[in-house]
């Protein structure tokens, strides 16, 4: 899990964190690309609607990866657009997640919104199931010095 400021400029740090973790786990490139798209969309929503911080976490389960993103937003429930024919620049993130993920859920938490999504892995030849966070001993990523990695 990584905690970041809820700002658009930190979304790429969330993707970099997820990339390193997925590569460490040995997730195949096609699955990794889809998971990174989910992470990017959920982190962008959290950055846009959160107050101060957002957290992004990935969990390797038996044959899937669970993505958890939370923000401190106090606004209304996120809305799925269903307006794919328009020229709107925003509002399709949860629709994209829904198309890519096997399942997703968004709920109001004590301090903001929490969204979870599950992505089934094509290959089961990955690291130990149940492994979460960054590998032990890696500490914080040098590319995101202001971020706080939690394992």
Q: What is the pLDDT along the chain (151 residues), one digit of tens a residue?
A: 999 999 999 999 999 999 999 999 999 999 999 999 999 999 998 988 877 889 999 999 989 999 999 987 766 555 555 555 555 555 566 778 888 999 999 988 777 889 999 999 987 566 654 444 444 333 333 333 334 444 4
pLDDT at 59: 97
For 80: left if phi > 0, alpha if psi spans -120 to 50, otherwise beta; the answer is: beta
Question: What is the reported pTM?
Answer: 0.74
DSSP state of 1: -
Q: Identify the pLDDT of residue 85.
A: 55
State whether residue 138 is helix, strand or coil: coil
**Residue 4 Cα distances to 47, 82, 121, 128, 135, angstroms:** 9, 29, 27, 27, 19
Closest CA to 106 of 134, 127, 78, 126: 78
């Amino acid at each position: 899990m990584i905690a970041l400021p809820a700002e658009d400029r930190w979304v790429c740090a969330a993707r970099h964190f997820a990339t390193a973790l997925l590569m460490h786990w040995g997730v195949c490139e096609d699955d990794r690309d889809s998971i990174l798209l989910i992470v990017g969309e959920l982190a962008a929503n959290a950055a846009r609607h959160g107050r101060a911080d957002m957290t992004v976490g990935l969990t390797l389960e038996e044959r899937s990866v669970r993505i958890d993103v939370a923000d401190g937003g106090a606004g209304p429930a996120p809305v799925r657009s269903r307006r794919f024919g328009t020229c709107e620049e925003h509002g399709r993130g949860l629709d994209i997640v829904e198309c890519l993920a096997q399942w997703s859920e968004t709920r109001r938490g004590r301090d903001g919104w929490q969204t979870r999504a599950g992505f089934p892995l094509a290959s089961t030849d990955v690291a130990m199931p149940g492994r979460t966070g960054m590998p032990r001993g890696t500490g914080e990523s040098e590319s995101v010095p202001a971020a706080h990695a939690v394992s």
